[in-house]
Amino acid sequence: MGKKDKRQYAIIGLGRFGTSVASTLFRAGYEVLAIDADEERVQKFSDEVTHVVQADTTDEAALKSLGIRNFDTVVVAIGEDVQANILTTLLLKEIGVQYIVAKARNELHGKMLTKIGADKVIYPERDMGVRVAHNLVSTNVLDYIELSPNLSLVEVAAPRTIRGLSLAEANLRALYGVNVVAMKRGEQIIVPPQPDEKIGDHDILIVVGSTAGVQKLEELE
């Protein structure tokens, strides 16, 4: 994990979901290329990730010029324009991108994305209800997104065993291979939290890390 990890991620579409995924991955130490067709969005996000470019991702030549095939995972986070979302996913598959995560608006859209080659389809709007339901049955995992086969983004209520410890004392990176990139404390969001930040009883940790490490963290009481 961290800066030594050479995995590269490209996020296409800088709406609310896309910017959240891109900035979280970047804060966790990954190289992130953010892409949007809208110049204004690109300008606003210019200091948030490794690289940000304006491009029409429904244009195969534009995608190839970005070297998109070299990225380990590409997240298609285009939300409003379903046609652009589908065409971008199709082109990424044809170009030979290793792992494509695509955002869908509904089941039909999701089925289409799967058929044209998306490796994973996520439903941010629909899944919100699922997450709330999971929370009601007392799981400590509030949000879970698998960004690639080996990397997950998780929002988790602080397990009892690490409450009262500082992040340095909890040592989650060494023990579980995960990075705490942000903490929620009521209405306050601490980004990035410092190593001496104490983990409170009601804190929520936003964690990026290996899927295996995240699963071990979930098992903590």
Identify the residue with better confidence: 130 or 105.
Answer: 105
**How confident is the model at residue 134, as a pLDDT?**
45
Q: What is the DSSP letter of 77?
A: -
**How confident is the model at residue 2, as a pLDDT?**
41
**How confident is the model at residue 75, as a pLDDT?**
94
**How confident is the model at residue 137, as a pLDDT?**
39
Q: Which amino acid is at 130?
A: V
Q: How far apart are the first and last CA of the chain?
A: 24
99 in the same domain as 64? yes
Place of tokens 């439903």: 123
Phi, then psi, of 93 in degrees rounded to 5: -65, -45
Q: How confident is the model at residue 129 (pLDDT cuts 50, 70, 90)?
A: low
- Residue in 143, 9, 23 with CA at minimum distance from that of residue 76: 9
Between β-strands 141-148 and 151-157, what pairing exists: parallel, antiparallel or unpaired? Answer: antiparallel
Please compute the mean of the pLDDT values over residues 39-43 and round it to a whole number.
94
Question: Which contacts qualify for 115-121: CB closer than 8 Å, 24 or more apart?
Answer: 116/86, 116/89, 116/90, 117/89, 117/90, 117/92, 117/93, 118/76, 118/89, 118/93, 120/146
Q: Taking 70 as the threshold, does the pLDDT of residue 156 lie above it?
A: yes
Q: Taking 90 as the threshold, does the pLDDT of residue 195 lie above it?
A: yes
pTM of the predicted structure, to 2 decimals: 0.68
Q: How confident is the model at residue 12 (pLDDT cuts 50, 70, 90)?
A: very high
Q: Given 122, 140, 156, which residue is the final one in a domain?
A: 122
174 in the same domain as 138? yes
91 in the same domain as 196? no
91 in the same domain as 11? yes
Q: Given 122, 155, 183, which residue is the final one in a domain?
A: 122
Check which CATH number belongs to the domain holding 35 and give it. Answer: 3.40.50.720
77 in the same domain as 155? no
13-36: per-residue pLDDT in tens? 999 888 888 888 888 888 999 999
**How confident is the model at residue 57, as a pLDDT?**
96
147 in the same domain as 48? no
**How confident is the model at residue 89, as a pLDDT?**
96
Task: Output the six-digit token pair for 54.
Answer: 């304006």
Check which CATH number belongs to the domain holding 132 and give it. Answer: 3.30.70.1450
Q: Taking 80 as the threshold, does the pLDDT of residue 105 lie above it?
A: yes
- Residue in 206, 219, 220, 191 with CA at minimum distance from that of residue 155: 206
Q: In what order do the strands lie in the sheet with 178-185?
A: 141-148, 151-157, 204-210, 178-185, 188-190
Q: How many domains does the chain have?
A: 2
> CA-CA distance, 203 to 198, in Å (whole number)?
10
107 in the same domain as 24? yes
Q: How confident is the model at residue 59 (pLDDT cuts 50, 70, 90)?
A: very high
Q: Given 122, 141, 171, which residue is the final one in a domain?
A: 122
Q: Taking 90 as the threshold, does the pLDDT of residue 55 lie above it?
A: yes
Q: How confident is the model at residue 4 (pLDDT cuts 50, 70, 90)?
A: very low
Q: Domain range for residue 207?
A: 127-218
